[in-house]
């Protein structure tokens, strides 16, 4: 694998770009591995990378039923932030944000992480109080957080609709270190870096069954043959329940819902921040990609589904929210919209935990928050797999928390997965 640096750029520039090697190998599956990660999304790839990097476990395979970057890794709105308040969550997402800040150097791959600020508008005094509490908790834990009054906000983003009488903009809660990144680059960067450390990335390798022995999973049946793993990790958010039931483990506190995202034609620079119309208003988030497209999204489609395609009432809903907050978008044309399948959990928080099978580990339940979480998710999942015990930050992110009554319900919405958006 050729390293990306100035020297190689110049050398290849003078040689017709002929010395670049492929980004990662396309190996044949070996018969057994120390760790097999099922799911070649951002979380699976990050896990494999940190297993090799932090824990020196390099005999690792990542099984992907499609291709790298073809699932939810390519179906998100690329927002990175750490504005969480619940114990466990804020430390975890803050660690993730710190990993993002150095990710391009770490992976030798430009993930185009842009800390352009995440601006959550609030629309009522109650919403201001509520978000102030969350952002104060963040500050107490050393995360950057601030409130912008209307004057500051108008100066920073003059073209919002400040005359919306139903949801008047009163100000915004802002995290300046937040922003977005290029989703494909993150997937490719992790895949390339993991591959360089010796990880086998097996694409078009769908898991079809498990063979159990003495209570453990001995081997995995796949579309590319039988693969043995001493330890096995699930990182297939969206389809976790399917795999869980394939392993005959019963039910999970998860429902699969689909979330749509939208991208417009490219326009000249219009928006420098990630703007969220969310606190005490509708649910809408928007940013502008480096290419110039407006990238935005809204709520779930409100009914359980494994279909990776969206429904029209939500297209209308999102378009209405866009017009309410950003009337200048009225004439912009939509290029594409798509849906990804989310693991929506019963309290809106994720799982990085052990399972009833002693050599099986679970990484699931990412709700709306999977993209920004991927570096820390890989970090702590690798830590769990290597050290057999969860790090303090994720010690309650397990399946037992519901019975114990220690739900991590950031939104306070109760046990209804579709409400944890």
One symbol per residue from 294 to 313: x for binding another protein (CB under 8 A), - otherwise; what is it? Answer: --------xxxxxx---xxx
**How many residues of this chain bind another protein (CB under 8 A)?**
27
Is residue 260 involved in binding another protein (CB under 8 A)? no
Nearer to another protein, 83 or 363 (CB): 363
Nearer to another protein, 6 or 312 (CB): 312
One symbol per residue from 216 to 255: x for binding another protein (CB under 8 A), - otherwise; what is it? Answer: -----------------------x-xx--x----xxxxxx
In whole angstroms, how close is the CB of 56 to another protein at the nearest point?
A: 36
Nearer to another protein, 107 or 314 (CB): 314
Of 253, 183, 306, 250, the residue nearest 420 (C-alpha)? 253
Residues 49-108, interacting with another protein (CB under 8 A):
none
Of 226, 221, 228, the residue nearest 207 (C-alpha)? 221
Question: Bridge-partner residues for 6, per DSSP?
Answer: none
In this structure, what token pair is assigned to residue 410?
Answer: 């950031």
- Residue whose structure tokens are 């150095």: 102
Nearer to another protein, 35 or 344 (CB): 344
In this structure, what token pair is assigned to residue 94?
Answer: 């803050």
Contact 75, 358 (CB under 8 A): no
Is residue 46 involved in binding another protein (CB under 8 A)? no
Nearer to another protein, 170 or 419 (CB): 419
Nearer to another protein, 365 or 369 (CB): 365
One symbol per residue from 166 to 205: x for binding another protein (CB under 8 A), - otherwise; what is it? Answer: ----------------------------------------
In this structure, what token pair is assigned to residue 181?
Answer: 């990144």
CA distance 215 to 359: 9
Render the burial of 382-396: b for 16+ CB within 10 Å, e for the rest: bbbbbeeebbebbeb
CA distance 247 to 367: 22
For 378-415, give the secondary structure using H, E and C: HHHHHHHHHHCCCCHHHCCCCCCHHHHCCCCCCCCCCC
In whole angstroms, how close is the CB of 347 to another protein at the nearest point?
A: 8
Nearer to another protein, 28 or 403 (CB): 403
In whole angstroms, how close is the CB of 412 to another protein at the nearest point?
A: 16
CA distance 160 to 21: 46
In what helix (H) or strand (E) does residue 42 lie, and over which residues does it extend?
Answer: helix 42-55
One symbol per residue from 376 to 415: x for binding another protein (CB under 8 A), - otherwise; what is it? Answer: --------------------------xx-----------x
Residues 321-360, interacting with another protein (CB under 8 A):
346
Radius of gyration of the chain (CA): 22
CA distance 227 to 224: 9
Is residue 416 involved in binding another protein (CB under 8 A)? yes
In whole angstroms, how close is the CB of 134 to another protein at the nearest point?
A: 25
Binding site for another protein (CB under 8 A): 239, 241-242, 245, 250-256, 302-307, 311-313, 346, 402-403, 415-418
């Amino acid at each position: 694998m050729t390293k990306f640096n100035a020297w190689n750029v110049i050398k290849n520039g003078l040689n017709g770009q002929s010395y670049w090697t492929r980004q990662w190998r396309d190996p044949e599956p070996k018969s057994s591995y120390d760790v097999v990660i099922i799911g070649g999304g951002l979380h699976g790839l990050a896990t494999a990378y940190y297993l090799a990097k932090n824990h020196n476990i390099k005999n690792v395979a990542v099984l992907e039923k499609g291709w790298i970057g073809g699932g939810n890794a390519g179906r998100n709105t690329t927002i990175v932030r750490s504005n969480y308040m619940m114990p466990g969550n804020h430390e975890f997402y803050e660690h993730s944000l710190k990993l993002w800040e150095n990710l391009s150097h770490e992976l030798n791959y430009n993930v185009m992480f842009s800390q352009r600020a995440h601006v959550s508008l609030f629309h009522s005094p109650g919403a201001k109080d509520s978000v102030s509490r969350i952002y104060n908790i963040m500050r107490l834990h050393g995360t950057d957080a601030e409130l912008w009054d209307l004057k500051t906000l108008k100066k920073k983003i003059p073209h919002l609709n400040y005359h919306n009488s139903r949801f008047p903009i009163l100000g915004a809660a802002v995290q300046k270190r937040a922003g977005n990144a290029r989703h494909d680059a993150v997937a490719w960067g992790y895949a390339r870096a993991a591959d360089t450390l010796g990880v086998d990335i097996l694409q078009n390798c769908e898991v079809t069954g498990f063979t159990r022995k003495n209570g453990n999973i001995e081997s995995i049946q796949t579309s590319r043959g039988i693969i043995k793993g001493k330890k096995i990790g699930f990182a297939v958010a969206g389809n976790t329940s399917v795999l869980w039931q394939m392993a005959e483990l019963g039910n999970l506190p998860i429902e699969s819902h689909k979330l749509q995202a939208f991208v417009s034609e490219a326009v000249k620079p219009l928006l420098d921040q990630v703007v969220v119309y969310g606190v005490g208003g509708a649910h809408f988030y928007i940013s502008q990609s480096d290419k110039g497209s407006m990238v935005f999204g809204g709520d779930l489609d409100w009914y359980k589904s494994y279909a990776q395609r969206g429904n029209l009432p939500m297209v209308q809903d999102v378009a209405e929210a866009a017009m309410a907050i950003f009337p200048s978008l009225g004439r912009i044309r939509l290029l594409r919209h798509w849906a990804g399948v989310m693991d929506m959990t019963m309290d809106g928080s994720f799982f990085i935990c052990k399972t009833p099978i002693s050599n099986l580990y679970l990484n699931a339940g990412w709700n709306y928050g999977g993209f920004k979480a991927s570096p820390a998710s890989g970090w702590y999942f690798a830590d769990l797999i290597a050290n057999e015990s969860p790090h303090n930050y994720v010690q309650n992110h397990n399946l037992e928390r519901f019975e114990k009554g220690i739900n991590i319900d950031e939104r306070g919405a109760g046990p209804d997965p579709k409400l944890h958006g």
